[in-house]
Amino acid sequence: MSKRSDVLSGAIVSLVGLIFLLSTIGMRKPRIGLGSAGFPRLVTVCLIICGVLLIVRALLSKKERAARSRIDSSFVFSLVGLTVSFVLYVYLFKKLGFILTTGPLLFFAMYVFGSKKILLNAVLSVVTSIAIYYVFTIIFKIPLPRFSL
């Protein structure tokens, strides 16, 4: 990991710890027991300390512990695309049902994973989503959402 990555990670961890620590301010401590805030405060304070330690260690370290790797732009596009498709998927999952949402998600995922055979991807994603749907709903009796007008 690079120095910069550790400093950034440490800063994010400390910030997250601080935000959650501040959110416990309104909680009162009971006379007996830990109360709601006791354990979260202990955890968040430890988190902040560890975050700061990570930053200090990274700043004090003399050498880069590993060569900084180049970020592959096509991967960034794929990751962003997949994350956006996750959001869309979750939003449409109950509205359109399992098959109508999982099929396109699988198709897109196969494409970004490098399988450029469009027809094969389409067949595989449709067959897979239908097969999974029927295996789970009929054999395992797990009710998955389905599209209805």
Summarize as ranges the residues that interact with other proteins (CB under 8 A): 1, 5-6, 8-9, 13, 17, 19-20, 23-24, 27, 32-40, 43-44, 46-47, 50-51, 53-54, 57, 72, 75, 78-79, 82-83, 86, 89-90, 93-94, 98, 102, 105-106, 109-110, 112-115, 124-125, 128-129, 132, 136, 140-144
Q: Residue 94 or 147: which CB sits closer to other proteins?
A: 94
* Cβ at position 128, least distance to other proteins in Å: 6
Q: Is 45 strand, coil or helix?
A: helix
Q: Which helix (H) or strand (E) holds 37?
A: none
Three-state secondary structure call for residue 34: coil
Q: Output the smallest distance, CB 23 to other proteins, in A.
A: 6
CB neighbours (10 Å) of residue 85?
A: 16
What is the rounded CA–CA span in Å between residue 96 and residue 69? 41
Q: How far is the CB of 8 from other proteins (least distance, A)?
A: 8
Q: Which is nearer to other proteins, 6 or 149 (CB)?
A: 6
Supply the DSSP symbol for 135: I
Residue 149 CB, nearest approach to other proteins (Å): 20
- d(CA 149, CA 146) in angstroms, rounded, equals 10
- Output the CA torsion sign for 45, 46, 50, 51: negative
